[in-house]
Amino acid sequence: MPDAHQIDIHHVAKLARLTLTEEEATRYASQLDGILTYIDTLTRYDLGGVEPTAHAMPVYDVLRADEPRPGFTQEQALSNAPKRIADQIQIPKVIE
């Protein structure tokens, strides 16, 4: 684990698709540093050789029969779209 938490908060925000004001960036960087310092508790234990746990009650290979079944209607799927055009979701132009 890194010794100091030199978080490039603007880079992280970019990855998270968030924009931050300078005031927010300063505040979050300082708060995250405090939280990460606490999380360093984990480095005090030897975890070598311990298997990671993803789920406490793991269920594997959940499959269903590959058969047609009812799903959302077009109207249901589109009912919350912020912008619609011709029964599709409209977004800003992506191809010049």
Partner 1 sequence: MLASSTIAALRKGLTAGEITPRDIVLDVAKSIEAGNAEIGAYLSWDVEAALAEADRADITKPLGGIPIAVKDNMNVTGQPCTCGSRILAENYTAPYDAGAIQKLRAGGAIPFGRLNMDEFAMGSSTENSALGITRNPRDLSRVPGGSSGGSAAAVAGDLAIAALGSDTGGSIRQPAALCGCVGIKPTYGRVSRYGLVAFASSLDQIGPLTKTVEDSALLLNHLCGYDAHDSTSLNIEVPDFTASIGRDIKGLRIGLPKEYYIDGIHAGVSASVQAAIRQLESLGAIIEEISLPHTELGVATYYVLAPAEASANLARFDGVRYGHRSSSAGDLLEQYTKSRSEGFGPEVKRRILLGTYMLSSGYYDAYYIRAQKARTLIRNDFTEAFKKVDVILSPTSPTPAHKLGELKDNPLAAYLEDVFTIPVNLAGLPGISLPCGNVEVEGKALPVGLQIVGKALDEATVLRVAHAYEQSR
Positions in the binding site for partner 1 (CB under 8 A):
1-2, 7, 9, 12-13, 15-20, 24, 28, 31-32, 34-36, 38-43, 45, 47, 50-57, 59, 62, 64, 72, 76-77, 79-83, 89, 91-94
How far from 77 is each of 55, 74, 83, 87, 90, CA to CA, in Å? 30, 5, 13, 10, 13
Q: Shortest gap between Cβ of 12 and partner 1 (angstroms)?
A: 5
Is-contact 13 20, C-beta < 8 A?
A: yes
Please identify, using beta-carbon distances, which residue of 68 and 82 lies nearer to partner 1. 82
Cβ atoms of 9 and 28 within 8 Å: the answer is yes
Tell me if 42 sits within 8 A of 10, measured CB to CB.
Answer: no
Identify which of residues 4 and 47 has a Cβ nearer to partner 1 in the complex: 47
* Shortest reach from residue 23's CB to partner 1, in Å: 11
- What whole-number distance in Å separates Cα of residue 90 and Cα of residue 85? 6
Min CB(68)–partner 1 separation in Å:
15
